[in-house]
Amino acid sequence: MIEDWQQANRAWWDEAAPLHATGDFYDLKGFLAGRDDIRPFEPGELGPVDGLTLCHLQCHIGTDTLSWARRGARVTGLDFSDPAIETARHLAVDSGLEADFVCADVYDAPTALGGRTFDIVYTGIGALTWLPDLARWAGLVADLLRPGGVLYLVEVHPTVNGLDGDGKTIVEDTIAAPFRAWEDPDRTGTYAAPEAEMVNTTAYERNWALSEVVTAVLGAGLHLELLGEQEVTNVPLPWLERGPDGLYRIKPGSPRYPLTYSLRARKSG
């Protein structure tokens, strides 16, 4: 049975994916020209991926997934949006990169992927807020990992998700937040296509606290190896400034706080 939150979120992403495929934010022409979309701190934290199997959950249109393929990983991307997966498949062909893209809900991943296990399960910026049950998610991640395999995730910091547009005022819960519908009929666009007029304006999200993410991962039997916080992001928030490297940072003179965080955890074996 498809629940209301799944239906609403899938409709939102199905509408967003074609906008993202043609917009400047993802810049698919730039990607095809060789741009690497992996954040600069990620390769050092994850380690070499050449020859390893990597499953990217909630992969969207596949730019991060295929960036790992360029680094030598044997990649599989999974996302519940048909238009997103179709874009990812075309991008793989056009870039000449080997990749397997599967359309399925993340909670159905072990079945949808045929019981396969991987050296790495990866999830990137902006994925976890869309999930209502983090313990269930961590459990399926453990199921997808081979013995000795690692989960590596990079996410928007929960502090950032709680801030107003001034970058200073907390206006949303950053701890014990509810998973709830965000309904705004006047809302336009997406983070990557802000000027677009969206038909689907309702989405369900939750701001997961860092402690909740760590607890879910530990509860799934994975062993935490790294927890990092970074002062850079690739999300163009209005109070940040873009550097020469294309990443966004807090403007000089303002108090610094983490914009993203990363986590690496290993399955025994």
Residue 41 in contact with residue 228, Cβ under 8 Å?
Answer: yes
Rounded average pLDDT over 41-58: 98
Sheet with 145-156, side-by-side order of all strands:
99-103, 74-79, 53-57, 118-123, 145-156, 260-266, 223-230
Q: Which two tokens stand for residue 57?
A: 């959950």
Question: 67: how many CB neighbours lie within 10 A of its CB?
Answer: 22
pTM here is 0.96
Residue 185 has pLDDT above 80, yes or no: no
Give me the residue spans of the domains in the chain.
4-266
The class of domain 4-266 in CATH terms is alpha beta
Position 184 scores a pLDDT of: 65
Residues 9-28 have a mean pLDDT of 95
Bridge partners of 103, per DSSP, are 79
Q: Which whole number is the average pLDDT over 66-90?
A: 98
Q: How confident is the model at residue 190 (pLDDT cuts 50, 70, 90)?
A: confident
